[in-house]
Structures are given as C-alpha cells and as structure tokens.
C-alpha cells in the first residue's frame, strides 16, 4: 500500500477537515506515493518505538509530532531527534488529533472504557445522566483508566450527570454542564472556576484518558492487506 491510500481511508474514517484551526493533523512526514509495509498506531512516538519499527512503516499517531512552528532542526533536541530517525528509515507519519476526538475517541472512552450508557456526544464533550454514588463512581473511573491517583475538585454525595472530554479539556467546563466533569490537565484556575459554579471535576490524566486511541482506530483498519500494529508510547510521568 501507499501512504496516500491509507491517508484517504483515514480521511473517510475521520475527516481531517473537522480538526480545529490550531491543530496540525494530517500527513506530517513522508509523501503520498511512498510505499509502506506496515502501520503502527499509537498516541505518541518515542525513540524505542522508532528503533523497533522496520523501514517503510507508517506511524498513525494521535498527537502531532510537529505541532507549532519549528525554527530549527537540531538532532539532539525533541522533536527533531525523532524526525531524523523517521527520515533515515524511510518512515512516514500521520496525525489524527482533534478530528478523531470529535468522531471517535471521546465516545469510545466514555462508552467502551468507562461504561456509560445512553450517552450523548457533541463536539468534544460526551455526557450521560443517571444517579451515581459519587465515591463509588470515582473509584470505578480510576480503576478503569488505571489511575494510581486522581485529583478531585469539589464534592457532593450523588452525581446525576457526568460529562467527559479526553486529553486537556478543562476549558470546556461550562459547555459540559454536568455535576461531574472528567478531563485531564486541570489547572488551578480551572478548579477555582468549577468551585464557583458548584461543579465537580476529576483529573483523569491526559495520557491515561487518550491511551485507547490505537484500539479505537484499529477497528476501522482491520481489513487492510498489511499489518496494523497497536503500540503504546511511554507516559512521561511517574507517580510516587
């Protein structure tokens, strides 16, 4: 297969035109006519993954390796060190970021991973209504995402609406309009805003909430004539 053939399929699965204006999804390394022998799916990429992958591999990542404007390429600095390896091994890279969040990832995590039923999903926000005992609900979310710890903002004995955005979605607190909002990268002032609105927030981690990207996308690529490999990049954080 060629990069262009896979890129066309990915665009049908989750149109790149749906990405946010500030995003950089699409083909970032390589060219459409480039022949590929396998596809590796992962949230991010790291040196170990590049070393282990064979030549002519197409990496399909959630996070764009090239995100903002780059003014220099120094091979001992991130991300240039990874870009150099990609070029040397004739590998290619595609990012599916905010477009895939909207069409697949948030719903997949909310329903398939966390187990919420009768969910509604609009844009980046998934939402469900019901009645849950708060401590039990939070413990279930923590267990399903494999979180060693979870920061909580606010408290209430019962939760009657839950919303979630994977990754860094704290800015969507008002749009979420739920008793409990699950998202990652919650900052101090996000927490203060939640308290002022009488809402609860739970920090479910950026990496931990998006780590299911590969399995969510793999379902749409299972009939390709080349191997599709699910990989997991390293989590840059450790917990003590």
- 75: CATH: 3.40.1390.30
Looking at the fold, whether 14 and 114 belong to one and the same domain comes out as no
Looking at the fold, whether 73 and 159 belong to one and the same domain comes out as no
In a domain, 120, yes or no: yes
- Binned at pLDDT 50, 70 and 90, residue 88 comes out as very high
In a domain, 181, yes or no: yes
- Binned at pLDDT 50, 70 and 90, residue 188 comes out as very high
Looking at the fold, whether 151 and 54 belong to one and the same domain comes out as no
Instruction: Give the contacts of 208 (CB within 8 A, at least 6 positions apart).
Output: 145, 146, 147, 184, 235
Looking at the fold, whether 56 and 117 belong to one and the same domain comes out as no
Global pTM value: 0.94
In a domain, 131, yes or no: yes
Number of domains in the chain: 2
Looking at the fold, whether 164 and 114 belong to one and the same domain comes out as yes
Residue span of the structural domain in which 133 resides: 100-209
Looking at the fold, whether 106 and 201 belong to one and the same domain comes out as yes
The tens digit of pLDDT for each residue in 22-61 reads 999 999 999 999 999 999 999 999 999 999 999 999 999 9
Looking at the fold, whether 89 and 19 belong to one and the same domain comes out as yes
């Amino acid at each position: 297969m060629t990069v262009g053939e896979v890129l066309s399929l990915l665009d049908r699965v989750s149109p790149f035109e749906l990405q946010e204006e500030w995003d950089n999804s699409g083909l970032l390394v390589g060219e459409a006519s480039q022949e590929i022998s396998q596809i590796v799916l992962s949230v991010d990429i790291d040196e170990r993954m590049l070393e282990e992958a064979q030549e002519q591999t197409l990496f399909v990542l959630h996070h764009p390796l090239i995100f903002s404007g780059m003014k220099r390429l120094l091979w001992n600095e991130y991300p240039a060190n990874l870009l150099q390896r990609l070029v040397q091994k004739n590998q290619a890279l595609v990012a599916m970021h905010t477009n895939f969040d909207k069409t697949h990832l948030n719903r997949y995590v909310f329903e398939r991973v966390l187990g919420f039923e009768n969910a509604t999903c609009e844009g980046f926000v998934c939402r469900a209504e019901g009645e849950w005992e708060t401590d039990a609900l939070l413990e279930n979310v923590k267990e399903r995402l494999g979180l060693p710890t979870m920061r909580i903002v606010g408290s209430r004995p019962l939760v009657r609406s839950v919303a979630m955005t994977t990754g860094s979605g704290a800015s969507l607190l008002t749009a979420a309009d739920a008793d409990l909002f699950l998202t990652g990268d919650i900052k101090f002032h996000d927490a203060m805003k939640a308290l002022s609105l009488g809402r609860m927030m739970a920090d479910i981690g950026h990496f931990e909430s998006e780590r299911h990207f590969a399995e969510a996308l793999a379902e749409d690529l299972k009939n390709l004539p080349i191997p599709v490999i699910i990989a997991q990049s390293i989590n840059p954080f450790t917990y003590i």
